[in-house]
Structure 1
Amino acid sequence: MSRNPSPTLPRPTFPRPTFYEFFAGGGMARLGLGEAWDCAFANDFDPVKARAYRANFPDAAAHFHEGDVWKLDAAHLPGQADLAWASSPCQDFSLAGARAGLAGGRSSAFFGFWRLVQALNAEGRAPRTIVIENVVGLLTSHGGADFQALCQALADEGYRFGALEIDAARFVPQSRPRVFVVATKAEPPPSLVGESPFHSRALAEAHGRLPAELAARWVWWRLPAPPARNTELSSLLEDDGAVVWRTAAQTQLLLGQMSPLHRRRFEAERAAKGRAVGAAYRRIRTENGVRVQRAEVRLDGLAGCLRTPGGGSSRQMLLIADAGGLRSRLVSPREAARLMGLPETYALPASANGALHVTGDGVAVPVVAWLAENLLDPLVEAGVQPIAAE
């Protein structure tokens, strides 16, 4: 697993680590882990995501299981994986959702996954490392009770754990903050423990609410900051002729839904730079006691957090003003894929809704890659015995 082997001295060879990917979607965690890892098992119950997974991973027939996680048992999972990755449904933790918490119908899928970990642990083959990825609302759901319940579940199965709050905006031009809970069966190596820019205030407060017996099992994972991002939203856009633009009347309607403050900021950006590119969502706001629909545009070079088309969410739009005039359109499926860090070769579903369903419900690939390179790879390597060099 070493990335920089010595040119003169033989090094021990480590076996390729294996992982299970639960709630795999289109396989974005797998892409982030990269070729150094072997996928032993993956699952998702959504047929659109399952087709996307199969379309992008030719070996899917050997390890991908389409179906409800509650219908799996330990016998479906081969061997003992070095890592189990679980991006369980996040709607019940979302700050924009109903906040049903771990008892909610969607997030209860987490317990379908967790019963498998418990069964594997009883057989002596629990994953050595677990990553649970979810929205930041997990930290505060039900006053922190849901996060405490998650930590308790990990502790009950013998794991030590910590968490990191990482915004994909560090890597791609999309605002997408997520929490990554990383748990291990092994004693964490000192080199992986310490300060990190990903120890947010919300995370510190969540840790502070834990009872003493759980706080004692906490690990402050050290994860360095990545290099400065060198892309902006405008750099990922498709050619003007390759996309469908909305009508002038629709663009004027969008402009009219902006608050005076947002309109002034947009015009100031256009005047200062000669071109303004803004990402816009329609939202319902209460003004003077009246609910009104507003278009909110960000001009910081980032897209807003991508969403799935379902659940009443509006599609994210682009508002562009330059020498060619003022125009607007929806974010395209390929642009959404780029905002998730997916390669150009990634095969998207044919329908726009299907493609946005896969991308909007995934984990940003470069975030997983950074986590793997700087924490998961060395964590696994520290607990794996090398194969003697010949």
Structure 2
Amino acid sequence: MNPAFHAFRPGLVAPAILFAAFAASTWAKDPPAIEKLRVPAGFQVTVYSADVPNARALAIGSKGTVFVGSRSAGKVYALSDADHDGRAEKSRVIATGLNMPVGVAFHNGDLYISAVSQILALRDIEEHLDQAPGLEMVVSDLPSETHHGWKFIAFGPDGKLYVPIGAPCNICDRDGYAKILRMDADGSHREDVAFGIRNTVGFDWQPGTKQLWFTDNGRDLLGDDLPSDELNRISRIGEHFGYPYCHQGDTLDPEFGKGKACKDYTPPALRLGAHVAALGMRFYTGKMFPSAYRGAAIIAEHGSWNRTEKSGYRVMTARIDGTRVVGYEPLIEGFMVDEKSWGRPVDVLVMPDGALLVSDDQAGAVYRLTYSR
């Protein structure tokens, strides 16, 4: 699975079209510089929508609506591709004025939205896209700290809503944080799932095993090359992945690692590199891509902010054999040119046709990755 990379051909992008009601022009601002992207041979990148400022987490409804959260914009968007041509004709704002509504999760017709201390719901949302219903409060008592307070959320195979509680700091040891919990759809029956997780902004369940895998962002201020961001796998309830005592499976924290041993914590399934800011991840379950990609974890590396030489700013493929990661390779590169980024990938989403959507909060866009022989 190491095909030669090629530069994206700008001729693959159709001319811009104007959206109808509730949508501004796709190219109201400079179009995303997708001609700079590099993908393996046979793959193509197009713009699914360029009208999603600060686009973050992605989810899809039962009728094909793509929902997009945001962080600084405080909005949630609904993207519609009614003619199924691979480009969203409409971008609607269906919620606004929220506190970091990063996470979106669709369940039984309803859209669940994370907003730091709250989980809210838009009921039967795909029947009311032009006039969204009022937000219904599901949970109102999650921690209110905004440092790592934005939350990716998702429903698991067990029907439970999984919610991360990030550490409210770079490095600290506070009860009730740095974990993943789950709950019923109405917010009841909460249970802690795993601990020692500094800040996960992406997770998914492996097909077949149904085990939960997640990315985690390593701490800052230990230099350019320590510690690594991580891809982790939960094999049992209550597992501890080290934070704040041990990082990347083998490095004790200079402050909180005193008297601790890394062998007492679960090491990462894969070290992703220091400060790459690994965020969204999904297992590829489609059939469009070559067979080598099926069952692989696709990971969005948002990119570093505090490294002498920048790292990340790409979408990667982690090939997995059972419980072992056996390869880690680029899928989309070129969001950064000469140490300057024009885009930052955040989340990925496998579509029913096998295409892959990628959100970009810097360019305010969602891209569509396809493959053809």
TM-score (norm 2): 0.31
Question: Which of structures 1 and 2 has the larger relative contact order (alpha carbons within 8 angstroms, sep 6+)?
Answer: 1
Bigger Rg over Cα: 1
TM-score (norm 1): 0.30
Report the structure, 1 or 2, having the larger strand content: 2
Report the structure, 1 or 2, having the larger helix content: 1
